Structure 1
Amino acid sequence: MMTPLARMSNKLGRNVITNFVRNHSHGGVPGENLPFDIANRYKLTAMFIVYVGSGLGAPFLITRHQLLKK
């Protein structure tokens, strides 16, 4: 059996989540919840290459910098 405080807390938690979902979802538009624009495929491709290339290329650039130091 749940105590009155536990029931109230449970109900409050459900209400908060329900209101968040209601107020922040806009109806299933693909890509709407992403932090970047997917409308322009060429810009998306270029940004992906820059993002992944910076992560993969950083160790090589750091190594080159260390080897060229005097």
Structure 2
Amino acid sequence: MHAPLARISTKLGRNVMTNFVRNHGHGGIPGENLPFDINNRYKLTAMFILYAGSGLSAPYLITRHQLLKK
């Protein structure tokens, strides 16, 4: 009873992944699939510092805000 459903599910999953790889895998160009530009290293460095710095400083800023509240 479950075998036909499993076969259909497997076939559907295989088709979805095949289409995804076929349509989205342009390949060959490093950084093509990234959501940011890696060609300008100074901009990349500044954006990384902002991204990492905001995450690392958030607990300290939240603590400061809570301590300064009346």
Structure 2 gaps of 5+ residues are: none
Provide, for residues 5-43 of structure 1, a one-character-per-residue CA deviation record: whole Å limited to 9, x for no partner.
433332222122111100111022111111111111000
Matched residues, number: 69
Tell me how far apart the structure 1 counterparts of residues 5 and 67 of structure 2 sit (CA, whole Å). 65
| Matching residue's letter, 1:46 | A
Q: Calculate the TM-score normalised by the size of structure 1.
A: 0.76
Q: Calculate the TM-score normalised by the size of structure 2.
A: 0.76
Structure 1 gaps of 5+ residues are: none
Aligned counterpart, 1:48: 48
The CA RMSD measured in Å over matched residues stands at 2.1
Identity %: 83
Tell me how far apart the structure 2 counterparts of residues 61 and 21 of structure 1 sit (CA, whole Å). 43
